[in-house]
Amino acid sequence: MDKPWLLQYNDGVPADITAEYEHGVAMLDAAVTADPQAPAIKYFDGVLSISELADAADALAHHLIHHGFRPADRLAIFAQNDPAFVIGLLAAWKAGGAAVPVNPMNRVGELRHILSDSGAVAILTLDHLHRDVVRAALLEASSSVETVITYSDHDHQSRDDFRVLSPIGSDAVDAGVSDLSEVVRLFSGRGAPSVPLQKHDPATITYTSGTTGRPKGAINTHGNLMANAATLRVWADLRPGDSVLAIAPLFHITGLVAHAVLALASRSQLVLTHRFHPEVMLEAIREHAPTFTVGAITAFIALSNAAGVDRSDFACFSRVYSGGAAVPPAVAEEFESRFGVYIHNAYGLTETSSVTHFVPFGTRAPVDEESGALSIGVPVSSTIARILDEEGRALPPRSVGELAISGPQVTPGYWQNAEATATALPDGELRTGDIAFMDEAGRFYIVDRKKDMINASGYKVWPREVEDVLYSHGAVREAAVVGVPDPYRGETVRAYVSLSDSNVTTDEIIEYCRGLLAAYKYPREVIILDELPKTVTGKILRRELRQ
C-alpha cells in the first residue's frame, strides 16, 4: 500500500531505509574501526570491548575452520544471554556460515530435532547443558555435529572474581570437546579469516515455537538482519553511547536482532544478565543505566512486581518497547502511572527477522474503541502490510482479516521445507496467521491468532478481547482465554488467571466480565492458577491451557 501517512506519525523517519552494511561482519568491522576500545558488552561486573569481542569471534572462527567448518555450514548456539552467545554468532559469520540459536530450555528430543533438521556441524553450549542434554542428543546416529565447544557461566555470580569467559578446567572437559576460553587463548591475534559473505547468505536459521507442529527453521539472511537493524536504529533513534538491556532471550528473534544485532549496528553497549530474573534485571538496570529495551509485556509485569522496585529504577530509559505478546491497554496504563515510562508497542515475527510495525517513538498507541485492541503501530520503513480475506484479496480499512507482510526483513523461506515456504510465503509475501485490521490512518491492530478463535453458538469470540477486559480488573495479574467444548454452544469461553489479590473469587471475576462483554463473550468459567504457563520469551501458552 502507499505510505503517505508515514511521516505524519514519525517526522524525520524516511519511508524507505537502505541497510548500511551487506552483512554482519562488515557491521562489526565498522564498529571496531570507529572506536576499538568502546564497551560492547556489559555482563554483571565484566566488560568486553568491541575489539575484544571481535578478537574472540575471530579466534572461534579459526577454531571452527580448523575442525572442518566450511562456508554455509551451521553452528548451533545452545546458550543463555551470555557473552559467549554473541561471540558464537559472530564467529559463525566470520567462518562463512550461519548460526542456529537454540532455546536452552529444550530437552534432548527437541535439541535432537533442531540439530538434525538444520544439519549443524558444530555446537557452542554451556558446560552443564552439554552434560545434561547435548551428550544424549548427539548419540543420535544421524547427527552431523563434529565439533563441540563449551563454556562455563559459574563466575557470573561472583562479583569479586569476574571473568567474561570463565575457564571450565581441563578435568571438566570431555575428550574431543573444547573450552571456549582456551580456544580464544590459542587462536587470539590471528585476525579475521578471509571468507566472503553476501547479503543473501543465511545468517541465522531461527526455529519457530512449534505451536502448529514441529518447529520450522526460518532462514534469516544477512540482508534481512541488516535491514531490520538499520530500521530499528533509526526508528528508536539509537546512537553510540546508548545502552541496550537484553530482556528478551538472545536465541529468540527479538533478542537476537533487537538486542544483539541492534547494539552492534548502533554501536551501543549490550547489557546481559545470563537469563531473565526480575530482581537480577533490576540490579543490572541500577548498575548500568540502560537507555533502551524491548521485551514481552509479561516481563514488564514481572519487573513491576519485583521486590523493592521503585519509580526511579526506570528513569534511565528514554525508549521502552514491548513486542512478542499482545499488550493489554490496562497494563500499559498502570505501568506508566507507577513508573513514568510509556511502553511503546511493536510487532514482528521470526519470519520477519523481528520488527515490521512500530508505534513511532514519542507517539502513543491508540486503543480501538470497538475491539479494545492497542495499536501495534504503522509498518516500518520499506515495509508493506495488507489485510487479506480467506481468498487472499486485499480488504479495505476496518475490515478484519489475515495480516500479510512484505519487505526486506521477510524470510526467503523455511530451511529445507519447500511445502511450508509455499504455504506461508506465496509470491514472497508472508501470511502471518494473525487476525488484524487497519484503521483509516494506516495504523494496525492485532485481534488474535487465527487458530485461537472461539466459536460460541456460531458467534466469533477473540480471546484477546476477553483478556483485555480481565486485565482491567484490579486483582488480575495475568490472564489467558481459551475455548473449551460445550454440548450446547459447541464451544464456550474459559479464562485462566493469576491474581494479585487472593481474596477475589472466581464468581466476582465472572460477574465483572459479564457487565462489560456481550453474553456470548464473557467467561462461563474462571480458573485461578499461581502462574500461567509461558514460553521463555514471555508469551502465555494457550495451547498448554487447552490441553
CATH code for the structural domain at 453-546: 3.30.300.30
13, pLDDT greater than 90: no
CB 276 within 8 A of CB 294: no
**DSSP state letter for 436:** E
Residue 281 pLDDT level (bands cut at 50, 70, 90): very high
286, pLDDT greater than 60: yes
Which of 101-110, 400-409, 505-514 has the weakest average pLDDT? 101-110
**pLDDT for 330:** 84
**pLDDT for 537:** 65
The one-letter amino acid at 204: T
CB 466 within 8 A of CB 517: yes
- State pLDDT tens for residues 339-350: 999 999 999 999
167, pLDDT greater than 80: no
Global pTM reads 0.83
Domain 50-197 falls under CATH 1.10.357.10: no
- State pLDDT tens for residues 207-219: 986 544 578 999 9
Residue 418 burial (CB count, 10 A) = 9
Residue 325 burial (CB count, 10 A) = 17
Over pLDDT 70: what percentage of the chain?
90
188, pLDDT greater than 90: yes
Q: For residue 505, what is its C-alpha cell?
A: 473469587
Q: Where in the chain is the domain with CATH 3.30.300.30?
A: 453-546
Q: What angle do CA 309, 367, 305 make, to 5 degrees?
A: 15
How far, in Å, CA of 322 to CA of 304, rounded? 14
**pLDDT for 546:** 79
Q: For residue 244, what is its C-alpha cell?
A: 541496550
Which sign, positive or negative, has the C-alpha torsion 497, 501, 504, 510? negative
**pLDDT for 238:** 94
How far, in Å, CA of 481 to CA of 156, rounded? 39
- Taking Cα atoms as reference points, which of 261, 107, 84 lies closest to residue 180? 84
Q: Are strands 217-221 and 202-207 parallel, antiparallel or unpaired?
A: antiparallel
**pLDDT for 536:** 66
248, pLDDT greater than 80: yes
- Taking Cα atoms as reference points, which of 215, 274, 262, 208 lies closest to residue 237? 262
Map 298-352 to HEC letters: HHHHHHHCCCCCCHHHHCCCCEEEECCCCCCHHHHHHHHHHHCCCCEEEEEEHHH
How far, in Å, CA of 328 to CA of 26, rounded? 40
**pLDDT for 274:** 95
- State pLDDT tens for residues 194-240: 999 999 999 999 998 654 457 899 999 999 999 999 999 999 999 99
- Taking Cα atoms as reference points, which of 462, 460, 474, 486 lies closest to residue 512? 474
**pLDDT for 7:** 39
Q: How many CA atoms lie within 13 A of 182 on its CB side?
A: 13
CB 118 within 8 A of CB 217: yes
What is the rounded average pLDDT of the residues 288-303?
Answer: 93
**pLDDT for 109:** 83
Which one of 97-111, 118-132, 296-310 scores highest in mean pLDDT?
A: 118-132
Residue 328 burial (CB count, 10 A) = 24
Mean pLDDT of the chain: 89
169, pLDDT greater than 80: no
What secondary structure does DSSP assign to 472-539, as a single string? TSTTEEEEEEEEEEETTTEEEEEEEEEES-TT--HHHHHHHHHTTS-TTTS-SEEEE-SS--B-TTS-
**pLDDT for 539:** 76
Q: For residue 205, what is its C-alpha cell?
A: 536459521
> What is the helix (H) or strand (E) element at residue 281, kind and residue range?
helix 278-288
CB 322 within 8 A of CB 295: yes
Sheet containing 46-49: order of strands = 46-49, 39-43, 269-272, 243-245, 292-295, 319-322, 344-349, 354-358, 378-379
How far, in Å, CA of 409 to CA of 372, rounded? 29
Q: For residue 162, what is its C-alpha cell?
A: 569476574
Q: Name residue 435's beta-bridge partners.
A: 402, 448
Q: Where in the chain is the domain with CATH 3.40.50.980?
A: 50-197
**pLDDT for 351:** 96
171, pLDDT greater than 60: no
Residue 457 pLDDT level (bands cut at 50, 70, 90): low
**pLDDT for 174:** 67
- State pLDDT tens for residues 21-38: 999 999 999 999 999 999
* Distances, alpha carbon 517 to alpha carbons 142, 514, 528, in Å: 54, 6, 20
3, pLDDT greater than 70: no
**pLDDT for 170:** 43
Q: What share of the chain is helix, strand, coil (3-state, %, to 5)?
A: 35, 25, 40
**pLDDT for 160:** 37
Which of 145-159, 193-207, 502-516 has the weakest average pLDDT? 145-159
